Amino acid sequence: MAGPGRRLLARLVDTVVVAVVGVAVGVPLVGSALEHLNQKIADAQTASARTGQRVQVWLVDPVTLGKLGALLALLLLFGAVYEVMPTARTGQTFGKRLARIRVVDASGGRPPTVGRSVARWLVGLLGTLLLVGAVVPLFDRTARRGWHDRAARTRVVVRK
C-alpha cells in the first residue's frame, strides 16, 4: 500500500495542475465579468447624473452568474477528464506517476474501470468538499484506503 507521503505528493501535484488550468480559464472570465460590472456601474452613474436620483446596481446578475457557472463547469469537466481517464487507463494521473503510485482494482492489480474511476473521483470530490476526505486514509492504518477507494473498490499501491 502507498503511504500518506506519496499520496499527499500526488494530490498536491494534481491539484497544482488543475489550479493552473483554472487560472488560465478563470483570468479571462473574471476579466470579462469585471468589464461587464464596470460598464454597469458607469451606466448607473450616467443615469444618476442625468436624473439626479440614485440608481441601484446589482453586481450579481445573469451575466456574472453565467461566467461563474462556466468557470465551475470547465473546472469540473477538466478535473473529471484529468482524474478519471488516466486512472481508468493506467491507474495513474501525472501526480501519481511522479509519486510512483498507482490505483488498482482492490481484487487485482489491474486499473479500475471507467465507472469505478468516476465513482472514485466523485466520492473523493465530496470528501474534499467536506474537508475530511484527505484524512480518512490516515486512520486506516492497515489498508490506507479512503472513502473514495472503498466506494470504488480500489486501492493505491507503490508502482514497481
Q: For 3, phi and psi rounded to 5 degrees? A: -80, 170
The pTM of the full predicted model, rounded to 2 decimals, is 0.80
- Structure confidence by residue, pLDDT tens digits, 58-100: 989 999 999 999 999 999 999 999 999 999 999 999 999 999 9
Residue pair 93/6 in contact (Cβ under 8 Å)? The answer is no
Query: Is residue 28 scored above 70 in pLDDT?
Result: yes
- Greatest CA separation for the chain: 75
- 40 sits in which H/E element: helix 4-51
CA 32, 36, 41, 47 dihedral sign is: positive
Q: Cell match 502507498: residue?
A: 2
Give, in degrees to the nearest 5, the angle at Cα 121 between 17 and 71. Answer: 55
Residue pair 3/144 in contact (Cβ under 8 Å)? The answer is yes
- Structure confidence by residue, pLDDT tens digits, 119-156: 999 998 888 888 776 676 667 666 778 888 888 999 99
Can you list the pairs that 11-20 forms with residues at least 24 positions away whose Cβ atoms lie under 8 Å?
A: 11/95, 11/134, 12/95, 13/94, 13/95, 13/98, 13/99, 14/82, 14/83, 14/93, 14/94, 14/95, 14/96, 15/95, 17/82, 17/94, 17/95, 18/75, 18/78, 18/79, 18/82
Domain boundaries along the sequence of the chain = 4-158
